[in-house]
Amino acid sequence: MHFSSVIHILGLLLIFLSATMLLPIPFSLYYGDSDYQALLISAAITLAVGFLAYRLAKFEQDLRPKEGFAVVSLGWIALSIYGSLPFIFSGAIPSFTDAFFETMSGFTTTGATILTDIEALPHGILFWRSLTHWLGGMGIIVLSIAILPFLGIGGMQLFKAEVPGPVADKLTPRITETAKILWVVYAAFTFLETLLLMAGGMNLFEALCHSFGTMATGGYSTRNASIGAYNSAYFDYVITLFMIIAGTNFSLHYRFLKGDLKAYFRNKEFMFFLSIIGLAFLLIGTDTFFQEGVTVSKAIQDTLFQTVSIVTTTGYGTADYEQWQFSSQIILFFLMFIGGCAGSTGGGIKVVRIYLLIRFIYSEVIRLIHPHAVVPVRIGKTVVNREVVANVVGFFILYVFIFSLGVFIMGHLGLDIPTAFGSVAATLGNIGPGLGNVGPTDNYAHIPFIGKWILSTLMLMGRLELFTVIILFSPTFWQK
């Protein structure tokens, strides 16, 4: 391990982070809040630490996979530590555990909050909170499309040929190019959503914050009642649309914008993603469409919004789905595991992996009937490499194991069964709200101290596709 190079890059990341801490300041000043001070102090500290790391640790050589893993995991942790400073210094979240949880939840685009009264926070802090989502989303796009495939992880390997620009053989050269293209797409959609939300009556502050939360599939709102506070069909449908966009592979958007108008419909994963949303919507609808005291159009709107919000792992809320029948809650629970498409900002297992697992089971069945046949696993007409299949399968098993271990630990911290299952599913899948006492109308404030650290770790693991974090626990990794 070349620690020096790793620390050098982490320094760079912190310098970048300190600059972003200045972005909320105009809003703080405009609304006459005093939180700009906390932001300034935080930015100064982060800059100083970042600069020291950058200058004192030399970038010694090209990064190998080992350093790649370390940069990614330690990077997300470092950003969450320093990103929590504005919350602490402003007094919005005095406890470091809570502030770290909130920031990790932001940067991993989870959206699980420990805040009990969001609207009491000053505007600069609220803006910073939503901005952590957006920055996290930027990181995830470059991570999932450019870095993880190089490291041998992640659903995007399955689309190697489809990534705009060939996947880099070494970490550095091509990544920046790919990243820039996709960031432009990401920023353009954010801008468009902001405009549409403002057209519906939100002010710039609210529109930006909610666009950050949508495009990052994060879910932090500026309102206690989340999107439900606006009680607006227009906002609901605009945000539903952009949640679907955010849950889609960004390289598909790129190809569409380049003029390949059928890009979406030729993509097996995207079509499977839409089918899942459609099916879940209809199944939940058998329960929700005909509730007493709710008009059918409002019920359709809520059902679609919640289905999309959960499967894209955004976590915005317009209805308390814990009031729905158990059957609907069970569907939402399973959607938490599926997640968005590979190469999107969504979390969870990812649609393409679920698709591949089904194909894998199918190939195993065929192999039992014809023991001597060679039965490759395919996506469409493309044969998927054995190593990639093994990686996807390993990911799924690891996901189930880590989920089980998480539920086991949370149960031992005294959570009841639905809360233990819901909190782990919602953090590991980077959704935000779960079931039980961490449902859509609750928050994570009451989770015990150790539980908050466990859930923060699960958010990080889920976000970095498990292996990136797990690998750090392997002694082999640290050997010379």
Provide the binding-site residues for its own copies, judged by CB under 8 A.
65-66, 69, 151-153, 283, 326-327, 329-331, 334, 357-358, 360-361, 364-371, 387, 390-391, 393-394, 396-398, 400-401, 404, 407-408, 411-412, 414-418, 420, 467, 470-471, 474, 476-477
- Using only the alpha carbons of the chain, give its radius of gyration: 22
Residue closer to its own copies (CB basis): 296 or 366: 366
Distances (CA, A) of 380 to 140, 163, 315, 373: 26, 17, 31, 20
Residue closer to its own copies (CB basis): 107 or 337: 337
Q: Which residue has the tokens 């970095």?
A: 464
Residues whose CB is less than 8 angstroms from the CB of residue 258 and which lie 6 or more positions away in sequence, other chains included: none
Structure tokens at 189: 């959609």
**Minimal distance in Å, beta carbon 311 to its own copies?**
15
Reduced to 3 states (helix: H, G, I; strand: E, B; else coil), residue 219 is: coil
Residue closer to its own copies (CB basis): 296 or 361: 361
Residue closer to its own copies (CB basis): 182 or 311: 311
**Minimal distance in Å, beta carbon 349 to its own copies?**
11
Q: Are the C-beta atoms of residues 36 and 25 closer than 8 Å to each other?
A: yes
**Minimal distance in Å, beta carbon 419 to its own copies?**
9
Q: Are the C-beta atoms of residues 278 and 267 closer than 8 Å to each other?
A: no
Cα–Cα distance for residue pair 67/72, rounded to 1 Å: 9
Residue closer to its own copies (CB basis): 49 or 435: 435
**Minimal distance in Å, beta carbon 332 to its own copies?**
11
Cα–Cα distance for residue pair 82/239, rounded to 1 Å: 30
Cα–Cα distance for residue pair 132/114, rounded to 1 Å: 15
Burial 224-244 (b: 16+ CB within 10 A, else e): ebbbbbbebeebbebbbebbb
Residue closer to its own copies (CB basis): 204 or 390: 390
Residue 61 DSSP code: S
Residue closer to its own copies (CB basis): 14 or 151: 151
**Minimal distance in Å, beta carbon 392 to its own copies?**
10
Q: Are the C-beta atoms of residues 306 and 329 closer than 8 Å to each other?
A: no
Residues whose CB is less than 8 angstroms from the CB of residue 73 and which lie 6 or more positions away in sequence, other chains included: 460, 464, 468, 469, 472
Residue closer to its own copies (CB basis): 6 or 331: 331
Cα–Cα distance for residue pair 308/314, rounded to 1 Å: 8
Cα–Cα distance for residue pair 335/316, rounded to 1 Å: 15
**Minimal distance in Å, beta carbon 246 to its own copies?**
25
Residues whose CB is less than 8 angstroms from the CB of residue 365 and which lie 6 or more positions away in sequence, other chains included: none
Reduced to 3 states (helix: H, G, I; strand: E, B; else coil), residue 291 is: coil
Instruction: Identify the burial level of 56 via C-beta atoms within 10 angstroms of its C-beta, where 0-12 means exposed, 13-18 middle and 19 or more buried.
Output: exposed
**Minimal distance in Å, beta carbon 132 to its own copies?**
28
Cα–Cα distance for residue pair 2/466, rounded to 1 Å: 22
Residue closer to its own copies (CB basis): 196 or 377: 377
**Minimal distance in Å, beta carbon 116 to its own copies?**
24
Residue closer to its own copies (CB basis): 161 or 374: 374
**Minimal distance in Å, beta carbon 418 to its own copies?**
6
- Among the listed residues 378, 442, 430, the one whose alpha carbon sits nearest the alpha carbon of residue 399: 430
**Minimal distance in Å, beta carbon 214 to its own copies?**
28
Residue closer to its own copies (CB basis): 204 or 400: 400
